[in-house]
Amino acid sequence: MSELFDAVDALVASRATLPPPGERKRLRAAHGLTIDEVATALKVRRATVSAWESGKTEPRPPERDAYARLLAQLAELYPAPAAPASASNPPDAAVPTTFTTVPAPTEARILSRGPAPEVAILTGTESTQRSSAPALGSLAATAPAAVTGQASTSRPASSTSRHPDVNKAAPAAAQAPDGTSAGEMDPRFENGPLAVVDVADGKVLAYCVGGLVLDVPAKSLPSLVDWTLKEAKLGQPKLSGPGRAADPLLVLTQAALERYGLPIALTEEERLAGRIPEGHKVIKQFTRADWQLTKRGFGPWARIYRPAKGSDRQCVQLCIPTWNALDTRHWGTAAQLPPARLARLLGTYAARVMTPRGSTAVTGLELMTALHPPTYAVRDEATGILRKADEKTPGSLGKDPVDCAPCEAPDGHPLLKDLPRFHVRGPGEKLFEEAYDWARPLTDAECLRSHLVGLDVNMAFAAGANGLVVGLGAPSHVKNPVFDPKLPGSWLVDLSGVDLSRVKVGKEWVELEGTLLPSPFTPKGDRPAGPAWYATPTVAYAQELGYEVAPTEAYVRYENGRYLDGWYTRLRDAYLMTMADLGVDADLPPQDFLTAMDAYKGRDPEMATVVSAVKATVKGGLGKLRERPRGEGWRSGEPWRALSRPTWRPDIRAAVISRTRINLHRKIVKHASFTGQYPVAILSDCVVYAVDGASPLDFLPYREGKPLPGGFKLGVNPGLVKHEGTQTVLWGEGIREQFEAPELNLARYIKDGTVTDTDNGE
């Protein structure tokens, strides 16, 4: 009889109900699970799970039953609101009610290009439809038509005005997730993630994404915060199931600062402190209204909140451009833009990356946490109520910081407090994974060539993070370990025996001019002198080149995963989407790509600023993983504020930089083995060659439009290269003679050829 029961169970399992493919991916991402984790649990290949999620194949028993069980449990934890039924969108009877077809909030689609909405000035008690106006080369905005309140009546035409900057006010800053329409967006945030607050003709106005302008009745900053939370309908949905929605962001212009009693600029003392004094009248207003500030006080990026009650979170963030909230290195002249255009710029960044939480570096770090929240709530089996979020989310770093390994600790770290005061740690004591800063003299043959051509790797550090397995927990110390290229960690190993004149490229040994190549194991390109600490990608590359490795010591992390995959995907998509807005599409033929890249920033300076901010988010976010003490009265050996974060992870930063440097060296070796050409300078993600010709196409080995496999390829995607700049060989030799520096790094100046005494040797 049991055999019959087993047969019946198998028959039922063979028809186990599964949600649609898009929902399978949403549920996995909502719980913070990677494809690898699901594949391991179900004992199938990674590609198999990926095919299930894309709908290319369907699971079969016995995996189908287990997969259906997993998705059913996740659907209970993360139910998605069903799309509203209409005549054009009837309920799908074929989809079980347990599941919906709404995709994950992290998935965004490029909307069709079309008309931009006209600016409408709305009050909190009225709503109006917006008319259409032509858009200038931007994606159509999908912000909703109105702020709804007590009444729903059309306003007279005279009340709906068109701002002079409306044509610059509405790209896809309020775009819906892939597969949804604007009407399916979260109604709590129907007016977008942020507003730029300004004063015009005596009226306070809030410029939102999509060209919407709201009439602001608030007479003080505390009442402005109240209005934002109760009426403005600003904010952004969470990026991951266990996470939380983004708080509304208000950007205060100079006129708004004057209206609400704040200084237009900070004094030098306030700038150094990063805040206005605690006794300022505006801070007293907040205190009287029972609002609180974070420990950072009221500075360029201020957060005003009341302690959360259950799931009711009350928090608003302020951005003050005239207090240097928008760093000109990354945001250009954004602080000087008119309100509507600034809302367009910041709104685009918010929609494609996330609502800014501070500098681009801070936002880059916050994006990691938003995609992998440290904890998630657990449902009480007896009551069915979700308990407080206290369980570690799979694939996250958790809520508690972990100590790094001693070799990973920067100088001054508490782990090193017992070292002698003036002790300088060498390679055998300190992990030193940094980007390239290498150059060499030109050979006689290279001096006879006409030009120096620089190639720059697009989003190099983002590409280095893609697919990288990093540690999620504390390190384990191991003596005489067997090296495992799949195990993240830091390894003490002697790589001085690796000879670059004879290396493996693929499966074949090749002979190279090793003296013309930088070592892949040191940032300066010098050959290691003995044992040193390296991250896993560096040691794995030594093996790839055909050499045996025998570590004597290691700090490895057995709890690991592809923590940065979602972060990379989000930033990659933001970058590619914005570059497409600027006329640089993916998969362009090489010459078309070079043409499209010429002066692309001038086609839409504000979208070019978004590109700059996205790039800075990558580099800054990775830099924050090893943030050093700043202005905290810190002394060597004492802890500093950043150490209390679970995202203070120098090992992850080192692994990304290691992999980025190795990726570049691999391309250089492949190029050298095929063409006999060697770089003369490398700076981070820029590499310079001496060649006959002024274009990358004059020396990159394209055949019928196809590049050398594994070598340099022109294109906009992360990891591909673009033309950084061209100068003459005479220019390069001339500046080296001028500064009496035969190994001056020409990659630093190749873009425009400008060199100053200040630049020399930086």
Q: What is the CATH number of the domain that holds 63?
A: 1.10.260
Query: With bands split at pLDDT 50, 70 and 90, how would you rate the model's confidence at 563?
Result: very high
- The mean pLDDT of 701-723, rounded to a whole number, is 92
Report yes or no: 521 and 542 within 8 Å, Cβ to Cβ.
yes
- The mean pLDDT of 135-155, rounded to a whole number, is 31
Rounded to a whole number, what is the distance in angstroms from the first to the last CA of the chain? 81
> Of 11-15, 420-424, 733-737, where does mean pLDDT reach its minimum?
11-15
pLDDT at position 144, please?
31
Report yes or no: 469 and 529 within 8 Å, Cβ to Cβ.
no
368, part of any domain: no
pLDDT of residue 173 exceeding 50, the answer is no
Query: With bands split at pLDDT 50, 70 and 90, how would you rate the model's confidence at 85?
Result: very low
CB-side exposure of 67: number of CA atoms within 13 Å?
30
pLDDT at position 110, please?
27
628, part of any domain: no
Last residue of a domain, one of 512, 538, 561: 561
pLDDT at position 387, please?
62
pLDDT tens, residue by residue, 299-342:
999 999 998 776 678 999 999 999 999 999 999 999 999 999 99
Query: With bands split at pLDDT 50, 70 and 90, how would you rate the model's confidence at 619?
Result: very high
Q: Tell whether 324 and 237 lie within a shared domain.
A: yes
415, part of any domain: yes
Euclidean distance between CA atoms 142 and 147, whole angstroms = 14
pLDDT at position 381, please?
64
Q: Look over the chain and give the mean of its residue pLDDT values, rounded to a whole number.
A: 84
| Exposure letters 657-670 (e unless 16+ CB within 10 A, then b) | bbbbbbbbbbbbbb
pLDDT of residue 126 exceeding 80, the answer is no
Query: With bands split at pLDDT 50, 70 and 90, how would you rate the model's confidence at 345?
Result: very high
14, part of any domain: yes
528, part of any domain: yes
Q: Tell whether 303 and 212 lie within a shared domain.
A: yes
pLDDT at position 131, please?
30
Q: Tell whether 159 and 36 lie within a shared domain.
A: no
Query: With bands split at pLDDT 50, 70 and 90, how would you rate the model's confidence at 124?
Result: very low
- The mean pLDDT of 741-757, rounded to a whole number, is 88
pLDDT of residue 106 exceeding 50, the answer is no
Q: How many CB atoms lie within 10 A of CB 21?
A: 17
Provide, rounded to the nearest whole percent, the portion of the chain with pLDDT above 70.
81
If one compares 103 and 543, the residue with the highest pLDDT of the two is 543
Euclidean distance between CA atoms 463 and 448, whole angstroms = 35
Q: Tell whether 60 and 138 lie within a shared domain.
A: no
If one compares 37 and 229, the residue with the highest pLDDT of the two is 229
- The mean pLDDT of 382-410, rounded to a whole number, is 84
Report residue 348 CA to chain centroid gap: 14
Last residue of a domain, one of 507, 526, 561: 561
Q: Which of 659, 684, 719, 685 is nearest to 470 (CA)?
A: 659
Query: With bands split at pLDDT 50, 70 and 90, how would you rate the model's confidence at 170?
Result: very low
pLDDT of residue 473 exceeding 70, the answer is yes
Q: Tell whether 134 and 63 lie within a shared domain.
A: no
Tally of structural domains, the chain: 3
- The mean pLDDT of 177-202, rounded to a whole number, is 74
577, part of any domain: no
| Exposure letters 56-91 (e unless 16+ CB within 10 A, then b) | eeebeeebbbbbbebbbebbebbebeebeeeeeeee
Write down the pTM of the prediction.
Answer: 0.79
Euclidean distance between CA atoms 581 and 172, whole angstroms = 10
pLDDT at position 8, please?
52
If one compares 288 and 90, the residue with the highest pLDDT of the two is 288
Q: Tell whether 162 and 301 lie within a shared domain.
A: yes
pLDDT of residue 252 exceeding 80, the answer is yes
Q: Which of 287, 121, 138 is nearest to 195 (CA)?
A: 121
pLDDT of residue 88 exceeding 50, the answer is no
Q: Tell whether 36 and 127 lie within a shared domain.
A: no
If one compares 390 and 583, the residue with the highest pLDDT of the two is 583
Euclidean distance between CA atoms 528 and 509, whole angstroms = 22
Measured CA to CA in angstroms, residue 85 lies from 21, 23, 108, 184 at distances of: 21, 18, 22, 11
User: ∠ CA 331-334-339 to the nearest 5 degrees?
Assistant: 145
Query: With bands split at pLDDT 50, 70 and 90, how would you rate the model's confidence at 60?
Result: confident
> Of 119-123, 398-402, 530-534, 634-638, where does mean pLDDT reach its minimum?
119-123
| Burial of 294: CB neighbours in 10 Å, binned 0-12, 13-18, 19+ | middle
Measured CA to CA in angstroms, residue 410 lies from 424, 428, 647, 650 at distances of: 12, 14, 15, 8
pLDDT at position 472, please?
96
- The mean pLDDT of 653-665, rounded to a whole number, is 98
Q: 145: which residues sit within 8 A by CB, 6+ positions away? A: 117, 120, 127, 128, 129, 130
Indicate the DSSP class of residue 247.
P
pLDDT at position 696, please?
96
Euclidean distance between CA atoms 58 and 56, whole angstroms = 7
At 15, is the secondary structure helix, strand, or coil? coil
> Of 150-164, 507-521, 651-665, 695-709, where does mean pLDDT reach its minimum?
150-164
Report residue 3 CA to chain centroid gap: 54
Q: Which of 477, 483, 449 is nearest to 690 (CA)?
A: 449
Q: Which of 48-52, 125-129, 406-410 has the highest mean pLDDT?
A: 406-410
Q: 368: which residues sit within 8 A by CB, 6+ positions away? A: 563, 564, 567, 621, 647
pLDDT tens, residue by residue, 40-56:
888 888 888 888 888 87
Instruction: Read off φ and ψ for residue 132, nearest 5 degrees.
Output: -95, 150
Angle between helices 21-30 and 46-54 (to 10 degrees): 120
445, part of any domain: no
Last residue of a domain, one of 530, 561, 592: 561
182: left (phi over 0), alpha (psi -120 to 50) or beta: alpha
Q: Tell whether 32 and 161 lie within a shared domain.
A: no
Q: Tell whether 131 and 53 lie within a shared domain.
A: no
Q: Tell whether 223 and 324 lie within a shared domain.
A: yes
pLDDT tens, residue by residue, 476-520:
999 999 999 999 999 999 999 999 999 999 889 999 999 999 999
Q: Tell whether 166 and 260 lie within a shared domain.
A: yes
120, part of any domain: yes
- The mean pLDDT of 354-366, rounded to a whole number, is 97
Q: Give the domain extent around 257.
A: 116-358
pLDDT of residue 93 exceeding 80, the answer is no
Q: Tell whether 164 and 67 lie within a shared domain.
A: no
If one compares 491 and 176, the residue with the highest pLDDT of the two is 491
pLDDT of residue 389 exceeding 70, the answer is no
pLDDT at position 9, please?
56
Q: How many CB atoms lie within 10 A of CB 289?
A: 15
pLDDT of residue 15 exceeding 60, the answer is no
